[in-house]
Amino acid sequence: MELTKEKIVELLETKDDKQIEALFAEARRVREQQFGNKIFLYGFVYFSTWCRNDCTFCYYRKSNQIERYRKTPEEILRLSQELAESGVHLIDLTMGEDLSYHEEDFETVLSIIRSIKETTGLPVMISPGVVSDQQIKAFAEAGTDWYALYQETHNRDLFAKLRLDQDYDERMHAKLYAKEQGMLIEEGLMSGVGENSEDIAHSLMEMGRIGASQVRVMSFVPQAGSPMEHVKTPDRMLEMKIIALMRILYPWALIPTSLDVDGIAGLEARVNAGGNVVTSIIPPRTGLAGVAQNSMDVDDGSRTVAEAEKILESLGLQAATAEEYQKYIGELKCRKL
Ligand code: SAM
Ligand code: MD0
Ligand code: SF4
Mean pLDDT by 10 residues, the chain (337 residues): 93 98 98 98 98 98 96 98 98 98 97 98 98 98 98 98 98 98 98 98 98 98 96 98 98 98 97 98 87 86 94 98 98 85
pLDDT of residue 290: 86
Residue pLDDT, tens place only, 289-300: 888 988 888 888
pLDDT of residue 92: 98
The Cα–Cα gap between 293 and 276 comes to 20
> Are residues 188 and 218 in contact, defined by beta-carbon separation less than 8 angstroms?
yes
Which distant-in-sequence residues (6+ apart) come within 8 Å of 116 by Cβ? 76, 77, 80, 91, 93, 122, 124
Ligand 2 touching residue 258 (CB < 6 A): yes
> Are residues 260 and 291 in contact, defined by beta-carbon separation less than 8 angstroms?
yes
Segments of 105-229 assigned E as strands: 124-127, 146-148, 184-191, 214-219
pLDDT of residue 270: 98
Question: Based on the structure, what is the number of domains in the chain?
Answer: 1
Tally: H helices and E strands in the chain: 13, 8
How many C-beta atoms lie closer than 10 Å to residue 206's C-beta?
Answer: 17
Q: Give the closest residue to 127 by CA, choosing from 205, 69, 42.
A: 42
Q: HSE of 251 in the Cβ direction (CA atoms, 13 Å)?
A: 13
pLDDT of residue 336: 67
Residue of 44, 49, 52, 53 to test ligand 3 pocket, by largest number of atoms within 8 Å of CB: 53
How many C-beta atoms lie closer than 10 Å to residue 52's C-beta?
Answer: 13
How far, in Å, from the CA of 181 to the mean position of ligand 2?
A: 22
pLDDT of residue 337: 64
The Cα–Cα gap between 79 and 81 comes to 5
Q: What length is written for the chain?
A: 337
Ligand 2 touching residue 276 (CB < 6 A): no
Ligand 3 touching residue 128 (CB < 6 A): no
Q: Give the closest residue to 243 by CA, choosing from 267, 264, 222, 210.
A: 267
Give residue 39's domain range.
5-336
User: What atom in ligand 2 is closest to the CA of residue 188?
Assistant: 9
How far, in Å, from the CA of 6 to the mean position of ligand 1?
A: 29
How far, in Å, from the CA of 202 to the mean position of ligand 2?
A: 22
Element (H, E) at 279: strand 277-281
pTM for the full predicted model: 0.97
Ligand 2 touching residue 214 (CB < 6 A): no
Give Cα separations from 303 to 82, 85, 162, 313, 320 (angstroms). Answer: 14, 15, 28, 16, 18
The Cα–Cα gap between 270 and 20 comes to 14
Ligand 2 touching residue 94 (CB < 6 A): yes
- Cα 163 vs. chain centroid, distance in angstroms? 17
How far, in Å, from the CA of 28 to the mean position of ligand 3?
A: 32
Helix axes 197-209, 5-13, angle to 10 degrees: 130
CATH number at residue 176: 3.20.20.70
Residue 169, classified by CB atoms within 10 Å of its CB into exposed (0-12), middle (13-18) or buried (19+), is exposed
- Residue located nearest, by CA, to atom 7 of ligand 3: 53
Q: Which ligand is nearest to the CA of 228?
A: 1
- Residue located nearest, by CA, to atom 27 of ligand 1: 292
How far, in Å, from the CA of 17 to the mean position of ligand 1?
A: 31
Q: Which ligand is nearest to the CA of 185?
A: 2
- Residue located nearest, by CA, to atom 4 of ligand 2: 280
